[in-house]
Structure formats: C-alpha cells, structure tokens
Amino acid sequence: MSVNGNPTPSGIPASTAAEPSEQNLTAPPTETPPNAPVSSSRPIPATSSKPNTIAPVVPSSKTMTAIPAPRPPASTPRMTPTVTSGKAIPPVRPTPPIKPPTPPVDIIDEGEPSDGHDLRMGIFDHLNELRGRLFKAALALVIATALSFLFAGQVLEYFKAPYPEKFIALGPTDAVVAYFRIALLCGAIMSIPITTYQILMFIIPGLTNKEKGLLLRSIPAITGLFLIGAAFAWFLLIPPAVNFLDSFQSELFQAQWTADRYLGFITALIFWMGVAFESPLIFFVLALLGQVSAPTLIKNWRLAIVGTAAAAAFITPTVDPVNMFLVMAPLLVLYVLSIFLVVIGRRISRVEAAV
C-alpha cells in the first residue's frame, strides 16, 4: 500500500501513514565527519542554519515492532571492537599463561646392564695399568719361589726318579742352577691364580658385565686345567719319553745326562703342557662370548697343525723329532677337544640369548 505515491512502512497503520505530506518530510541526515567520535546514545538531529519547521515523525512504541538482535552463544564471550580515530581495532584475545620450562631430569635406569665402556683411558694410562699388573704378578712369583725353596729338595728327588743314576754336574754352579730351576717351577705353579687374576683385571675394564662374570668364574678352572696338564706330562708323557731316550741305541751310546739338561727338559715339558691344557677352556669361553665357532676351527685345521708343530718345537729343548712328536700329539688331541667344547659353548650361548 502507498499513500501519495510513497510506500507505507511495514507495521505502521494506514491512518498514521496517511497524514499530510508535509508532516512525512524529515530533515536530511547530516554526514558524520570521519574523525567524529561514535556515541552509543540516541543520535541527535543535525542542526542547520535554516529554521526547522517540520518535526520528524517518531513512531510510537505501540505501532512499531522491535526486532530482537541475535544473541551470541553462551560459551563465546562477547567482544566489542574499540573505535579510535574512525578505525576499528580488532579485539585483543587473552593469551594463555606461559608455563615455566621444566628442568631436565636425568633418568637413571639401574636395571640396564653396563656395556663396560664407561671408563676411557689413554695409551699411557693403559701402559701404566699394564706395568702395575705385571709388577704384582712378578711379585707373586718371587714370593712363591722363595717359599718353594723350603721343599725344592724333595721335589728334586721326586723328579730324579725316572732317571736311575746320579746327575752329572759339569760346572761348579750346575747343582745350584738345577735347585733354583725346581724352585722356580714350583713358584710358577703356585702363583698361577694370582698371575691369571692380574691379566684378567687388565682386560676386564673393556668388557661387559656378562663377559666379566665368565672370565672371573673361569679362574678356578684355569688353575685346575694347568694342574691336570702338569700331571699328564709327569705321569703319562715323561716316563715313556725318558725310557725311550735312555735306551735308544744303547749298544753305541751310554746315556749320562747332566742335571741342567735333564731338569730343563722335565720342567719345560711339565710347565708348557699345563699351559696347553688351558686352551680348550679358552676356546670354550670364546664360544660362550660368540667370538669363535666350530666351522672356523675345522676350516683352519692346516693352520692348527702348523701352530702345534711350532709350539712343540718351542716346548722341547732338543731338536730331535721324537720329543717333538711326543709333545705335538697331545696338542692336536687338545685342539680336537676344543672343537667339541666350542660346539657346546655355542649351544649354551644360543639358549641364553633365547631366554
């Protein structure tokens, strides 16, 4: 509906909208300068130099329906932008509080096994450590040899049993050297546990806890195997060797052995056979650590034969092949025994790794 060509506003009755046209005229709105402040109160009509004779039409509250403004959600806070100098500044969002940085905490896992590489030493530190270990081993040997002088005479009489005649002393000091050789052999046997311990303590700082335990538990076995090797040499190897050498070509040669050469042969054979009997245990420990395998030993059997021949030539004081063979044969048997022990050690290491 329109009155006098003007559209009737919605929500206003026709009787109110049909007033004289001069009353429907209102003063044109005045433009607001860009720098004028905005007020939240009711707008004030702009003033003019000409007298305003026409009053604006103010609709009554009864005839005009108010449209409620949409309310924001309750969870969203209402932010009113700030107007300064005609430009709207976006609302400032509150920043969350900044938590102070947490200091780093060192986590110590006591259940984690040590790798044995916590200590780092230089070359001179290793040399000093080796010198100290060798000094302690030599001191133990000297003390044990000094104690062996108390019963070296009885041991000398026992070693003379395979040879029925008296020893021949060609020099003035041959008897003293023979007596000292027996005391030195007894002292070396007595100091083997301490010497082995000092060598292992030099190696242990570079090993893990598992390797340390295996080596420390092997000390009694090493001593026992040395004694077994010495007994094997004395009871099974020396008697037939002495009888063979004494009766060899007896029609042409009369055997008269000096004390130095006879005791040198006996003591060298006993000592180095005791050391050789420790080789199966060494291979067994290496197999437990996963450092050697049976196929490797079987593949290198030629090198094993050459090595045992060189060891037998070093152990025997003579150059004849008979004595060399008497020493070489047990060494080859020990090498074969080492292969079987390596197989057992590898199986044990696999079972421990699976558990």
Q: pLDDT tens-digit profile of 258-273?
A: 888 888 888 888 888 8
Report the helix count and the strand count for the chain, using DSSP H and E.
12, 4
Q: Is 19 left (phi over 0), alpha (psi -120 to 50) or beta?
A: beta
Highest mean pLDDT of the ranges 34-38, 106-110, 321-325: 321-325
Task: Give the tens place of pLDDT for each residue, 311-340.
Answer: 888 877 666 777 788 788 888 999 999 999
Q: Among 51-65, 141-155, 238-252, 284-298, whose mean pLDDT is lowest?
A: 51-65
Q: Is the pLDDT of residue 175 over 60?
A: yes
Dihedral sign of CA atoms 15, 19, 23, 28 in order: positive
Measure Cα distances from 178 to 157, 181, 258 in Å.
Answer: 11, 5, 10
pLDDT at 149: 92
CA-to-CA distance for 123 and 131, rounded, in angstroms?
A: 12
> In sequence order, what are the beta bridge partners of 87?
84
pLDDT at 121: 67
Using an 8 Å Cβ cutoff, are 349 and 287 in contact? Answer: yes
Task: Supply 349's token pair.
Answer: 């290491």
Task: Give the tens place of pLDDT for each residue, 122-170.
Answer: 788 888 888 999 999 999 999 999 999 999 989 888 888 877 777 888 8
Q: Which of the pair, 107 or 259, is modelled with greater confidence?
A: 259
For residue 243, give the amino acid letter.
N
Q: Which of the pair, 96 or 277, is modelled with greater confidence?
A: 277
pTM: 0.58
pLDDT at 140: 94
Q: What is the mean pLDDT of residues 85-111?
A: 59
Task: Supply 65's token pair.
Answer: 């329906």
Q: What is the mean pLDDT of residues 222-242?
A: 86
List, as one string, the DSSP characters of 222-286: HHHHHHHHHHHIIIIIHHHHHHHHHHTTTTT-----BHHHHHHHHHHHHHHHHHHTTHHHHHHHH
Q: What is the mean pLDDT of residues 2-15?
A: 45
Q: What is the dihedral of CA 69, 70, 75, 80, to 10 degrees?
A: -50
pLDDT at 26: 46
Residues with Cβ within 8 Å of 151's Cβ and at least 6 positions away in sequence, in order, are: 186
For residue 301, give the amino acid letter.
W
| Residue count (the chain) | 355
Using an 8 Å Cβ cutoff, are 331 and 276 in contact? Answer: yes
Using an 8 Å Cβ cutoff, are 211 and 147 in contact? Answer: no
Question: CA angle at residue 329 from 254 to 230, to 5 degrees?
Answer: 80
Task: Give the tens place of pLDDT for each residue, 59-82.
Answer: 554 445 555 556 655 555 555 555
